[in-house]
A and B are shown apart, each in its own frame.
Chain A
Amino acid sequence: MSDIPSDLKYAKSHEWVRVNGDTAVVGITDHAQHELTDIVFVELPSLGRMLKAGEACAVVESVKTASDIYSPVSGEILAINQSVIANPGLANTEPYAGGWFYKIKLADPAELSKLMSAEEYLGQVGG
């Protein structure tokens, strides 16, 4: 059973978004980390990079494979999580806390309405 916090928004491609005013924090879901398992490397976008919603912007590598991560929202990268780069296993152990990926300045807050609620995401991953 995946952990799906009710206060976050979710993308179909298994990223979560925590909105705070006109900024948001992005990471991968518990379901995603469970599917990937054994995360050994995380590559994050550079500071200041402008992302479009749906753009491949990060790579997560498990022992078995490399997977692209897509930005759920458009905007400018304000911060990246150096801790998860240094210790990629944080994305497995604390996907919604210490394993966050980046903080972004929202370019178009209206995009948030296209993301899923926790309930809708639960429907997608089937619990």
Chain B
Amino acid sequence: MLNRTTLFAAHQKLGGKLIEFGGWEMPVQYTSITDEHLAVRNAAGIFDISHMGEVTVSGTGAVDFLNRILTNDVRKLFSGDCQYSLMTNERGGVVDDLYVCRLSTEVFFLVINASRIAADVAWMQTQAAQFPGELRLTDASHNYAAVALQGPRVKEFITQIIPGASVSGKRVPAVTGLKKNEIGGFPLNNACVLISRTGYTGEDGFELVGQDDSIRQVWDASLAAGQPFGIKPCGLGARDTLRTEVCYPLYGHELDEDTTPIEAGLGFFAALDKGEFNGRAVLAGQKANGTKKKLVAFKMTGKSPPPRPHYPIWANGAPVGGVTSGTQSPSLNIGIGLGYVPAEQAKPDTQIEIEIRGNRFPAIIVPKPIYKKLK
């Protein structure tokens, strides 16, 4: 039996097409991935992200503990700040990629991938057992539902849904006062919703985490208030095409326990000088000496079927790597993808080929992100 989010009935009512994802029954699309994708690029979209996991870490040892298990430096965060980070093993491989938010001096809130909740919690508990400091670690995944409101016009109507000032985290007079990567707690009727200015689409937007009742209210209110602005409910299909265009990794595709953040091009999020952390020596070695494989972004250069995960990548007449994510880009209307190739073939403008059902189609390595908004 698959897990269902508190918005399941809402998805059915909207005619969402349901699929299995990470043990959850989730909408992949309502009307069309392309339409939903373009709504987020040009106006607004709302996604159910209740399947994602939440872990709280608190106590006087929280900062040191998180800095020991994550690659980024949590000491850079003031109350109300969030940062993208990676949880690595001793080999520098990625256990999960996540957002860590500092709610107050000793309270941190981690948002983790649905497919990794069990693995992450087990890993963190093992790490905590060896940690000498004072620490409380709680898997709060079942306590929370969540939605993402994404798109350039969200800021025009979100205050109709969340009208007040924040009462915790970053103190702002209105939710639109949050800057990118800031989080605050906002009252909604008699409850509190945690809202961060973050997302997985490359657009401005907010992610809202709260109890089931609150999130159902937010869902209905957003579709009503956003209607004049062109909001659409969006499924996992559009979420995937949006993040692929801006080259955000997806765990299980670009990231796994045998791939390091350096190989994945995420060295920016590894604070190698912050002190010891899991896998630090491996990452430092790779940063200094380079890696064998590198994650690259590519575009198809002619008419071709869309690239898909696991298709072979060829260079100089030989297979050299594989596609990790690929799709037809709804914004650019060409095939795009991400994949691993040897470092010497990873430079932008390198000509490659993607093998699709036995035929090879030309592509070119491009700088990340593949899609960039015109200013």
Contact = CB atoms under 8 A, between A and B. Distances in A.
B29 A37 contact: yes
Task: Summarize A's interface: helix, strand, loop or mixed.
Answer: strand
Contacts of B28: 64
Contacts of A62: 33
B306 interface: yes
A63 B328 contact: yes
Contacts of B308: 65-66
B309 to A, nearest CB: 11
Interface residues on A, range: 10 to 19
A61 to B, nearest CB: 5
B328 A59 contact: no
Nearest to B304: A41
Given A40-B328, A41-B306, A66-B308, A59 B29 contact: no
Most buried by B among A40, A59, A63, A66: A63
Contact of A41 (B32, B237, B328): B328
B34 A63 contact: yes
Contact of A63 (B31, B237, B304, B357): B237
A14 B34 CA distance: 23
Nearest to A35: B17
Interface centre among A62, A64, A66 (most CB of B within 10 A): A64
A105 to B, nearest CB: 26
Nearest to A43: B305
B305 A63 contact: no
The residue among B28, B31, B327 with the most chain A CB atoms within 10 A of its own CB is: B327
Contact of B305 (A38, A41, A64): A41
A61 B32 contact: no
B330 interface: yes
Interface in B279-327: 304-306, 308, 327
Nearest to B235: A64
Contacts of A38: 32-34, 328, 330
B305 A37 contact: no
B33 to A, nearest CB: 4
Contact of B357 (A37, A40, A59, A65): A59
B306 to A, nearest CB: 6
A41 to B, nearest CB: 5
Contacts of B31: 37
Given A41-B328, A59-B357, A66 B34 contact: no
Interface string A56-71: 0001011111100000
Interface residues of B, number: 17
A37 B32 contact: yes
Given A61-B328, A63-B327, A40 B32 contact: no
Nearest to B28: A64
B241 interface: yes
Given A37-B29, A64-B29, A64-B33, A59 B305 contact: yes
B181 to A, nearest CB: 29
Contact of A66 (B37, B241, B305): B305
Most buried by B among A40, A59, A66: A40
Interface string A26-54: 00000000000110110100000000000
Contacts of B328: 38, 40-41, 61, 63
B235 to A, nearest CB: 10
A37 B306 contact: no
Contacts of B29: 37, 64
B89 to A, nearest CB: 32
Contacts of B241: 63
A61 B308 CA distance: 11
A90 to B, nearest CB: 15
Centre residue among B28, B306, B308, B330 by max chain A CB count within 10 A: B306
Interface string B30-66: 0111100100000000000000000000000000000
Interface of B: 28-29, 31-34, 37, 237, 241, 304-306, 308, 327-328, 330, 357
Given A37-B31, A37-B34, 18 more contacts: A38-B34, A40-B306, A40-B328, A41-B306, A41-B328, A43-B305, A59-B357, A61-B328, A63-B33, A63-B34, A63-B306, A63-B327, A64-B28, A64-B29, A64-B33, A65-B308, A66-B306, A66-B308
List the 10 shortest-distance A-B pairs measured between CB atoms, nearest first.
Answer: A40-B328, A63-B33, A41-B305, A38-B34, A37-B32, A64-B237, A61-B305, A63-B328, A38-B32, A38-B33
